[in-house]
């Protein structure tokens, strides 16, 4: 009987150890993750244009436009596990000191705070998996001046849809940003932060090898996400960016739009 009892004790101890290790394994990707070492994320980046430089943060990477004082694009990986992160909003809006030409400043937004919100490009709610990632989502390089109704309405709805996709497909890659043109004339603040006329999201799912582009005017509208879907090729024509430039079968992925492929009720 002693040997039998000892056997079961050993089995239980082994199971507990395995469970503990498994729990640690689930936590490590968040703690150790770095955008600079994520090769698939880098394959999703838009191709760099002359003079552009990638800035890496814990949870996202970006290219900054000094002319428009905001990111041309931000890119990040989102997983089912990350969506259920526990870190709360830090709300520590501040300058991004990693931008060599200096980012926008807090005072750029204050005089127009009643009109424009500091709209996240990489959403804070997508960075709940890590305290540093959450804090860095409030860097002003990740902000764009958005009308309050749009920020709280349609833009928020699209962010929620992206999180639904992460829950359904487990891992997705997101590229998002403003549509910026050289003749944009509406600006705010001392540093003349451009108010974009439109915004976009590009989402790539490695599991299904599918991509989709969403383009929305900078206006609150009662529309469904699929009404904003266009081909990635069409978005490239509008933005001048070359998305998913390192992904295999890029041309096939970018030439069609398949909204049913993104039905998250799987």
pTM, entire model:
0.87
95-148: per-residue pLDDT in tens? 999 999 999 999 999 988 889 999 999 999 999 999 999 999 999 999 999 999
Burial category of 152 from C-beta neighbours within 10 Å (exposed 0-12, middle 13-18, buried 19 and up):
middle
- Answer whether residue 246 shows pLDDT above 80: yes
- For residue 167, name the pLDDT band (cuts at 50, 70, 90): very high
Asked if 240 contacts 177 with a C-beta cutoff of 8 angstroms, the reply is: no
Asked if 77 contacts 41 with a C-beta cutoff of 8 angstroms, the reply is: yes
115-126: per-residue pLDDT in tens? 999 999 999 999
Asked if 242 contacts 46 with a C-beta cutoff of 8 angstroms, the reply is: yes
- Answer whether residue 25 shows pLDDT above 70: no
What tokens appear for 175 in the block? Answer: 């590229």
Q: How many CB atoms lie within 10 A of CB 53?
A: 11
Position 15 scores a pLDDT of 41
Kindly state the average pLDDT of the residues 181-205.
94
> Distance between CA atoms of 88 and 121, rounded to whole angstroms?
18
């Amino acid at each position: 009987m002693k040997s039998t009892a000892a056997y079961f004790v050993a089995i239980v101890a082994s199971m507990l150890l395995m469970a503990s290790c498994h729990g640690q394994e689930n936590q490590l990707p968040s703690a150790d993750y770095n955008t600079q070492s994520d090769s698939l994320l880098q394959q999703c980046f838009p191709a760099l244009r002359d003079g552009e430089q990638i800035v890496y943060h814990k949870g996202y990477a970006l290219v900054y436009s000094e002319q428009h004082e905001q990111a041309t694009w931000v890119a990040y990986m989102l997983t089912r596990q990350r969506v259920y992160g526990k870190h709360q909003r830090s709300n520590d809006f501040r300058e991004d000191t990693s931008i060599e030409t200096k980012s926008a400043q807090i005072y750029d937004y204050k005089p127009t705070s009643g009109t424009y919100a500091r709209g996240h490009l990489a959403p804070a709610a997508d960075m709940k998996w890590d305290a540093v990632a959450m804090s860095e989502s409030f860097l002003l390089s990740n902000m764009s001046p958005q009308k309050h109704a749009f920020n709280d309405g349609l833009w928020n709805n699209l962010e929620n849809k992206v999180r639904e996709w992460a829950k359904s497909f487990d891992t997705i890659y997101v590229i998002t940003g403003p549509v910026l043109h050289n003749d944009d004339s509406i600006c705010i603040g001392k540093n003349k932060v451009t108010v974009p006329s439109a915004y976009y999201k590009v989402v790539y799912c490695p599991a299904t090898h599918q991509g989709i582009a969403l383009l929305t005017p900078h206006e609150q509208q009662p529309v469904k996400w699929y009404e904003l879907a266009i081909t990635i090729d069409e978005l490239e024509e509008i933005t001048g960016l070359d998305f998913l430039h390192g992904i295999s079968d890029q041309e096939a992925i970018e030439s069609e739009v398949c909204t049913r492929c993104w039905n998250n009720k799987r």
